Homo-oligomer: A and B are copies of this chain.
Amino acid sequence: MEPTTAMPDLIDQLRGCGITPTKQRITIADVLFQKKQHVSADQLLEIVRREDATVSRATVYNTLNLFLNKKLIKALIIDKSKVVYDTNTSIHHHIYNVETGELTDVSPEDLGLSELPQLPSGFEVEGTDVVIRVRRTHST
């Protein structure tokens, strides 16, 4: 892979967000947005290193935080010490298979969560996190 010469779209996108497109950041962005999925920092580090073995754990964390600040990704807290990063930044929710760890997106409409409770006036909703934990019904 030749990150600096290849995938100019990705580079432009980063630049457009005011992010200096370094080799590691491009590789990380490539993995994140290519394999559009929910990844933990550790999984991300592992995958990224398959493409560029020189990327450090610190850089992965720094880059994730950078992308978070720039709203390129969302952090998703699934469980105590189980954080995954989501490249889908539109409003949506999640179904979490507690047995397999599999995560599925749910659109707000499918949730019937159109109506929020009336908040005390003077407050605004910053975001709503919904995680539906499911498991396979065991016919045991």
Contacts and interface: CB of A to CB of B under 8 A. Distances in A.
Copy number of this protein in the oligomer?
A: 2
Interface residues of A, number: 35
Nearest to A135: B126
A32 to B, nearest CB: 18
A41 to B, nearest CB: 11
A128 B112 CA distance: 14
Contacts of A134: 119, 123-126
A82 B91 CA distance: 23
B137 A132 contact: no
Contacts of A131: 128-129
A126 B122 contact: no
Contact of A123 (B81, B111, B130, B135): B135
Given A97-B123, A123-B136, A127-B132, 20 more contacts: A75-B80, A77-B79, A81-B81, A95-B119, A106-B117, A110-B117, A112-B114, A112-B115, A113-B113, A117-B132, A119-B134, A122-B137, A123-B135, A124-B136, A124-B137, A125-B132, A125-B133, A128-B133, A129-B129, A129-B133
